[in-house]
């Protein structure tokens, strides 16, 4: 099971909330919002992505946003998502980024949609990005997307998820996040896969990136916690959903709710809830129709 001293890591994901938003968000609004989030006390801030602006137009200003972020005054580590080696090189050369995130899908169909590559080629890319991260002092985070099933009819087996997680860890990837990309999983499935993965890789940092409707979020979160997970992704306001999956209905876990839940259970989060409340108000303005 998990190491006894493994502490809670909260990963705030405004990039996941912004990337599929159809109305273009002004760069100045992104900068103000992200800078406030950097003051709240999160472990990691998933702030942007170095991907094709044709694929994700909302992220075209990531470099400009990064230049204005006050990351030096924050204990929070910046994470950027990449989809290919070109993006990884750009992200690794950018000052201030601590983590590089790469989405590796268990579903071959979704991997083709997301990165235009099959699973073997995508895994080879993970190895290349990992080498780049080591050379530049960054840390790779692999998101195992569609980890709880897929809507395409592709073969799915939890043991295959664990197999790919083990292959990543053998390439010295230390942080792996199990993503319920389209919100398919129930609590039992979340608990089982988290437990299987943690038991197989007790030295790795295993997280979850859960999409869920409000009525099922607590049971999913509780199942992941009970199985030993201590790294959780969420987004202020619960906005988000992967545009590559057509997931407009099932959003992220709401970070304010997540923090409130943990605190109510006597689990300290280290989050400044006054700042978090302000960020919630800012998000409501940014993500207004």
Tens digit of pLDDT at every position of the chain (289 positions): 444 457 999 999 999 999 989 899 999 999 999 999 999 999 999 999 999 999 899 999 999 999 999 999 999 999 999 999 999 999 999 999 999 999 999 999 999 988 888 999 999 999 999 999 999 999 999 999 999 999 999 999 999 999 999 999 999 999 999 999 889 899 999 999 999 999 999 999 999 999 988 999 999 999 999 999 999 999 999 987 554 444 454 689 999 999 999 999 999 999 999 999 999 999 999 998 6
pLDDT of residue 250: 62
Q: Where are the domains of the chain?
A: 9-286
In the prediction, which pLDDT does 273 show? 97
| CATH code given to domain 9-286 | 3.20.20.70
Supply the pLDDT for residue 106: 94
pLDDT at residue 241, rounded to an integer: 59
Dump the DSSP string for 238-276. G----GGGT--SS-BPBHHHHHHHHHHTT------HHHH
- What integer pLDDT is reported at residue 242 of this predicted model? 55
pLDDT at 254: 96
């Amino acid at each position: 099971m998990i190491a006894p001293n493994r502490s809670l890591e909260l990963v705030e994901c405004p990039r996941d909330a912004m990337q599929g938003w159809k109305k273009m968000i002004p760069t100045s609004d992104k900068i103000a919002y992200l800078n406030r989030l950097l003051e709240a006390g999160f472990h990691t801030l998933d702030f942007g992505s170095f991907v094709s602006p044709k694929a994700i137009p909302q992220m075209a200003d990531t470099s400009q946003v990064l230049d204005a972020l006050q990351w030096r005054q924050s204990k929070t580590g910046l994470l950027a998502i990449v989809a290919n080696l070109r993006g990884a090189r750009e992200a690794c050369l950018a000052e201030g980024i601590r983590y590089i995130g790469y989405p590796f899908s268990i579903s071959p169909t979704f991997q083709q949609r997301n990165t235009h590559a099959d699973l073997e080629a995508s895994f080879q890319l993970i190895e290349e990005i990992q080498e780049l991260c080591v050379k530049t002092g960054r840390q790779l985070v692999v998101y195992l997307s569609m980890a709880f099933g897929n809507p395409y009819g592709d073969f799915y087996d939890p043991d295959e998820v664990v197999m790919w997680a083990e292959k990543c860890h053998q390439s010295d990837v230390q942080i792996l996040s199990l993503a319920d990309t389209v919100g398919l999983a129930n609590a039992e499935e979340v608990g089982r896969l988290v437990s299987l993965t943690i038991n197989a890789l007790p030295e790795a940092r295993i997280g979850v990136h859960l999409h869920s409707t409000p009525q099922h979020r607590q049971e999913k979160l509780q199942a992941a916690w009970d199985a030993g997970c201590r790294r959780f992704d969420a987004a202020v306001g619960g906005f988000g959903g992967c545009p590559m999956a057509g997931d407009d209905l099932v959003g992220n876990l709401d970070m304010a709710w997540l923090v409130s839940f943990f605190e109510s259970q006597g689990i300290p989060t280290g989050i400044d809830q006054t700042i978090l409340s302000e960020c919630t108000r800012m998000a409501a303005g940014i993500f207004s129709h």
